[in-house]
Amino acid sequence: MKKAFGDQGFSLIEILISMVIMFLVLAMAAQFLQSFQRSYSIEQEVTNMEQGLRMGMEFLVREVREAGNNPQKLTMIPVTVDPNQDGVNNDIRLRRDINPPDDWTGTVSDPYEDITLSYDSTKRAIMMTDHVTGAASQPLVEDAISGVTFTLIKADGTVTTSAGQAVAVRIQVDGQTKVKDRRTNHYVTASLTSDVALRYR
């Protein structure tokens, strides 16, 4: 019986060529998926960093805004930048009478009325120390923060070191991803800045 022309099947060379083509297509697809996964990974890191920056800034703004709250007209310095006097403006001491009347004379003696907010570079965290309770520093916002700077601002917009001349505190929060972007081999960084008017009442 005579075979039809199309019944011969594939030759060994045709099978090898088709396998090479299929291997190349799969390799390109795998490379594309790997690139997409790396891109997604760094985008997730950037999103986490930006969220941490916003959380850190919102917390610091809220706490600094309450500094100087003084319904009983106490004699106090509401803010002190660099209270540990190490020459780095990454910490600020805040005093406020936020729970009046503690007693009818008015004092800064309740929890969270005399606190220091600082940046801990080893923990990459904003820390809070309560001077009233004497509690150990506790991390508040972690991992995303790479630096915090507090600056006292005068009414004319210039910088001052005197709390008595300051009308606002400029807060700068810097962030950095925990891993490098593999496309650029650099960390992704960002900063937020906010000026917070001080209350003197």
The domain spans of the chain are 39-197
Average pLDDT over residues 162-177: 92
Q: What is the pTM of this model?
A: 0.76
Element (H, E) at 159: strand 159-160
State pLDDT tens for residues 37-90.
666 678 888 898 899 999 999 999 999 998 877 766 666 778 889 998 899 999
| Residue 154 pLDDT | 94
End-to-end alpha-carbon separation of the chain, Å? 109
Per-residue confidence band for 100, with pLDDT thresholds at 50, 70 and 90: low
In three-state form (DSSP H/G/I as H, E/B as E, the rest C), the secondary structure along 133-174 is: CCCCCEEEEECCEEEEEEEEECCCCCEECCCCCCCEEEEEEE
Which residues fall within 8 angstroms of residue 116, CB to CB, at 6 or more apart? 83, 91, 92, 93, 94, 128, 129, 131
3-class DSSP state of 66: helix
| Residue 6 pLDDT | 56
3-class DSSP state of 31: helix
| Residue predicted with more confidence, 109 or 50 | 50
pLDDT at 3 over 60: no
Per-residue confidence band for 170, with pLDDT thresholds at 50, 70 and 90: very high
pLDDT at 156 over 60: yes
Provide Rg for the chain, Cα atoms.
30
Average pLDDT over residues 168-176: 94
| Residue 104 pLDDT | 45
Six token digits for residue 155: 């009414």
Range from 71-80, 97-106, 136-145 that averages highest in pLDDT: 136-145
| Residue 36 pLDDT | 67
| Residue 98 pLDDT | 75
Strand partners, 142: 125
Six token digits for residue 42: 């760094």
Rounded Cα distance between 148 and 91, Å, is 8
| Residue 11 pLDDT | 84
